[in-house]
Chains A and B, each alone.
Chain A
Amino acid sequence: MPEKRLLLRNLHVPGIAGIETYERTGGYRSLRRAVLELGPDAVLQEVMTSNLRGRGGAGFPTGRKWSFLPKDGRPRYLVCNGDESEPGTCKDQEIIYRLPHLLLEGVLTSAYAIGAEQAFIYLRGEFKEGYRILEQAIAEARAGHYLGDDVLGSGRRLEVSLYLGAGAYICGEETALLESLEGRRGLPRLKPPFPATAGLYGMPTVVNNVETLAAVVPIVEMGGAAYAQLGTEGSAGTKIFSVSGHVRRPGNFEVELGKVTLGELLNDLAGGPPEGRKFKAVIPGGSSVPYLTPDKFDTPLDYESLKAAGTMLGSGGVIVLDDSVSIVDASLRLMEFYRHESCGKCTPCREGTMWLQQALERLHGGEGRRGDLLTIQGLCEHIDGQTFCPLGDAAIAALGSALRIFRDEFDQSIPGGRDRRVEEVAR
Chain B
Amino acid sequence: MNAENTRRAEQLLGSFPNRSSALIPILHLVEDEFGFIPEGEVESVAAMLDVTKAYVESVLSFYTLFHRQPTGKYLVQVCRGLSCHLRGGDDLARFLYEELGLRRNGTTEDGLFTVEEVECLALCKDAPVIQVNLEYRPNVSRADLAKFLRQAREGVTADA
Contact = CB atoms under 8 A, between A and B. Distances in A.
A343 B125 CA distance: 27
Given A84-B122, A183-B24, A242-B125, A167 B63 contact: yes
Given A183-B21, A245-B82, A90 B122 contact: yes
Contacts of B120: 85-89, 169, 337
A166 interface: yes
Interface stretch (A36-44, A120-128, A214-222): A120-128
Given A93-B122, A242-B124, A337-B119, A129 B82 contact: no
Nearest to B62: A185
Interface in A274-319: 283, 287, 317, 319
B122 A92 contact: yes
Contact of B59 (A161, A183, A336): A183
A340 interface: yes
Contact of B28 (A164, A182, A245, A251): A164
Contacts of A325: 86
Contacts of A180: 24
B8 interface: no
B99 to A, nearest CB: 23
Interface residues of A, number: 56
B127 A168 contact: no
Interface string B109-124: 0000000001111111
B108 interface: no
Contacts of B123: 90, 93
Interface string A327-340: 00010011011001
A352 interface: no
B123 to A, nearest CB: 5
B141 interface: no
A186 B59 CA distance: 8
Given A118-B17, A185-B59, A334-B82, A244 B124 contact: yes
Contact of B65 (A167, A244, A317): A167
Contact of A287 (B49, B82, B136): B82
B66 A319 contact: no
B53 interface: no
Contacts of B85: 330, 333
Nearest to A247: B125
Most buried by B among A163, A244, A246, A287: A244
Contacts of B21: 163, 181-183
Interface in B4-26: 15-18, 20-25
A45 B59 CA distance: 40
B83 A245 contact: yes
B18 A182 contact: yes
A243 interface: yes
15 contacts: A87-B119, A88-B124, A89-B120, A89-B124, A90-B122, A126-B122, A129-B134, A165-B63, A167-B64, A186-B62, A242-B125, A244-B124, A244-B127, A250-B126, A337-B120
